[in-house]
Amino acid sequence: MDVSRDEFEALRADADPIRQARRATELLVIYGQRTTELARLRRAAIDRAHDELGMSYTEVASKVGITKGRVTQLRKTAPPVERAFFGVGPVTVGIPLRAIGDRAHAVIASEDDVAAERLTGILESLSLAAERFQIPPTGEWDPPADAVAICGPKSSHVTAEAIKADPYLSFEPDEDGRWVITDRDTGDVFVSPADTGDPTQDIAYIARLNRHSRVLLIVAGVHALGSVGAVEYLRRHLAETYAAVGDAPFSLVVTSTFDGTAVKGTEALWGPRVHA
């Protein structure tokens, strides 16, 4: 969601009070997110000046035009640099509605709901506003800027099309109909342990991909439980993952073990690898 000066001025002149109030509410969220991002950028820039230019924080403060005490305060209170892993915000978190048999209404898998709830917690801890979206059973949706799809290629052709652009990994059924993740270069195939007799383990695909000039972060277990593990991996390893990939497109495969929906362990199985 974006806003221009012309739109801002048009809002000020809008004679419809309901439309004006609704859009003003939306803009308050957008501007609030941008303010938070500016604080993150300032903190990151101060640290870069110290680390890359060899300047003391006193020198940085003098050049920026603030006090050394203010620099110390900013470094303690500003959002962490890894906030940018998910964009500027607000972030739309999409989870699929699934059609089950003859049921009149589609349902959300409990594991997807858990994954979305835990991811929302990560976003909120980074001062990112999160908006949940239910992807219809048709799989048709238009991810906005700053979106996370907790959704595999089986549940949405939008996700499937995005993954096809991944230069390193594919996520498709094998000849036996099992959904597997394959290294396009080596031909190595990653099969979920849940499909070979161990229901307490699953693997997941994580990637930041470009789609229609937008960035879409995909978090997709081979089974729904794998997405829970993938979200937990990001929670535990977000800072180091961001340090490795920044805001560039990348691919990653993680493997996790579970006790119910509680994640006992999670680690990288492949990657992360930044796209060339």
CA distance 12 to 24: 9
Residue where the block lists tokens 């949940």 = 132
Lookup result for tokens 């924080």: 57
pLDDT tens profile 75-118? 887 888 899 999 988 999 999 998 877 776 789 999 999 999 99
Place of tokens 């003859």: 102
pLDDT of 192 > 90? The answer is yes
Q: Are 226 and 204 in contact (CB under 8 A)?
A: yes
Structure tokens at 23: 């859009």
Model confidence, pTM: 0.84
Could you give phi then psi for residue 177, rounded to 5 degrees? 85, 0
pLDDT in tens, 199-240: 999 999 999 998 877 779 999 999 999 999 999 999 999 999
Q: Is beta strand 169-173 parallel, antiparallel or unpaired with respect to 189-190?
A: unpaired
Instruction: Report helix, strand or coil for 247.
Output: coil
Alpha-carbon distance 260 to 256, whole Å?
12
Q: Which residue has the tokens 């290294």?
A: 183
At 17, the amino acid letter reads P
